[in-house]
Structure 1
């Protein structure tokens, strides 16, 4: 494997990014589960309020970890822009999860606890996570362009003809 990665530096970089992304996601998930249960059990907060607050804490952990560790070598386009896009992409990821669960329940008629967990928490979270990884690296934390690279992606000197 090391020989392959040494011959393919882009694959090595992607593998490292995927590993960091997964680590941040795992930590955010632990924060969400722990804080939600703490808010429910110790603080006595209601189920929905505890879920919302726990999820917001996990989103803050995910944003911080992804911005400053997973995608640390990416262009900085401003906290406001990055935060807004991060939240929007998380919303789309959540819709993907809900669509998987809705398809299982309302189209396939699989509404038992096991089916719901597989559809929502395995398939839905998996597809949502793939979308999040792609969208974070493409839109939220884009690569910076090397100096002199045209902004439209066209090659320098486009439109000129050299015999």
Structure 2
């Protein structure tokens, strides 16, 4: 029995969506954090906020594809272009929420060079931007995806017909 089958066996169905969301989020976090560290220590050395914005945008595109096709594949309720627009709007708000701790660390508390060592600034940036900011953004995103982006559970008949994300046809619509 492989790991996925074992998890399915142990995890109650109502928590599977959250588990998938967390796997996608963890993968996106690796993309975000890795790209942020590379950018903020190389070509965007003095532009930490710009580095974080770019890394979040790249990881958001990655996240949309995985969430749409795996985490929330059994949900729909919106036309694909509306769903994508809402996803990126929610992630825009999530981006701002993610940046708040980093901004506070740099500009309100003042943890930046030359007042602190490069190691101290890097650790503070990582903790505030990649841990605290990510946790705040993640909680908001999970709630907003379920509430606004992927609002309806698709029935098994919808999934078998291949609507997979397209809204069910409703009378009078």
Structure 2 unaligned blocks of 5 or more: 1-10, 113-119, 156-173
The whole-number CA distance in structure 2 between the counterparts of 1:79 and 1:92 is 20
Question: What does residue 122 of structure 1 align with?
Answer: 131
CA-to-partner distance for each residue in 1:102-155, whole Å, 9 max, x for gaps? 222333333442222211111111111111111111111002499xxxxxxxxx
Structure 1 unaligned blocks of 5 or more: 1-10, 41-45, 147-163
The whole-number CA distance in structure 1 between the counterparts of 2:124 and 2:32 is 23
The whole-number CA distance in structure 2 between the counterparts of 1:53 and 1:97 is 13
Determine if the alignment matches structure 1 residue 27 to structure 2 residue 27.
Answer: yes
Q: What TM-score, normalized by structure 2, do the two folds share?
A: 0.59
Which consecutive segments of 4 or more residues in structure 1 shift more than 6 A? 48-54
The whole-number CA distance in structure 1 between the counterparts of 2:84 and 2:99 is 22
Tell me the CA shift for residue 53 of structure 1. Answer: 7.4
1:76-155 matches, within 5 Å, as 76-111=77-112, 112-113=120-121, 114-144=123-153
Compared CA separation, residues 61 and 77, structure 1 to 2 (3 A): same
The whole-number CA distance in structure 1 between the counterparts of 2:108 and 2:55 is 31
Q: Which has the higher contact order (CA 8 A, sep 6+)?
A: 2
